[in-house]
Amino acid sequence: MGIPIFQVDAFTDKPFAGNPAAVVFLKTMPDEAWLLAVAREMNLSETAFLVPEKDGWRLRWFTPAVEVDLCGHATLASAHVIYENGMPDDFTVRFYTKSGPLSALKKNGGIELDLPLITLEKAEAPAGLAAALGAEPEELARSGRHYVAELSEAGVRALAPDFAKLKALPMDDITVTARADGEYDFVSRVFAPAEGLNEDPVTGSAHCALAYYWQAKLGKTEFNAYQASARGGSLRVKLAGGRVKITGAAVTVFRGELA
């Protein structure tokens, strides 16, 4: 028997939209070189690796270039596969990760993730940021090497960064965001060339920071959000007790085995 592997489109209810993730189920966790080799082979924004542990699963996430500390869409994809393969809908799926315990539960027509809140502080722009982005941020905040830049909605949607220049800056990634008109409270896009991803299609972890960013500006704790990449994806986001609840749908695209 080979190693079960699934490809899932997350934060969408239709195939070939949202953010694709590979989900690999293992009996024991292999060494990091093997995990990274599989992630490179899959060449998706994230590959999730799961091993049974305690009352849940040990979960690690890899881009084609690096391991990351938190990934929302690959967590959603993992929970989706677990439910799709026989887990009762009222069962809370528990994950043990570099970002601490996370959980998922089928709820409100989707899967609700319980993720950590990421707080932000105001930041000065690194030299060359505007030239790399192709726009001057109206406001800039950060959490460590993760940046959030506010633009207009039209600016977010039209942005065409210079990824070589962006990769050279002292940051891991940057989320651009704006207030939205219509059904969404805010829109965003995420660029992470330093992590092997020029643009991430739909980013759950970024919304752990965007919830913090927009709560004061909009005076609310629940949001309808849209990530305006070429594939696009919708998220329902809620602040609750120092955590962030992110709800989305997911669709399995294929099932197979690693040799």
For 51-78, give one letter per residue: b (16+ CB within 10 A) or e.
Answer: beeeebbbbbbbbbeebbebbbbbbbbb
Taking Cα atoms as reference points, which of 191, 189, 179, 190 lies closest to residue 224? 179
Q: Spell out the residues 6+ positions from residue 96 whose beta carbon is closer than 8 angstroms to its own.
A: 53, 54, 56, 57, 58, 59
Q: Which of 41, 46, 183, 257 is catalytic?
A: 46
Within 13 Å and on the Cβ side, how many CA atoms surround 229? 24
The string of DSSP letters for 154-217 reads HHHHH----HHHHHTSS-SEEEEEEE-STT-SEEEEEEEGGGTEEEESS-HHHHHHHHHHHHHH
Using alpha carbons, select from 193, 175, 177 the residue that is nearest to residue 185.
177
Nearest Cα neighbor of 206 from 218, 190, 187 is 190
- Among this protein's residues, is 46 annotated catalytic? yes
What are the φ/ψ torsions at residue 191 (nearest 5 degrees)? -120, 125
Q: Do 195 and 172 touch, CB atoms closer than 8 A?
A: yes
Counting every residue written for the chain, the total comes to 259
* Catalytic residue ranges: 46
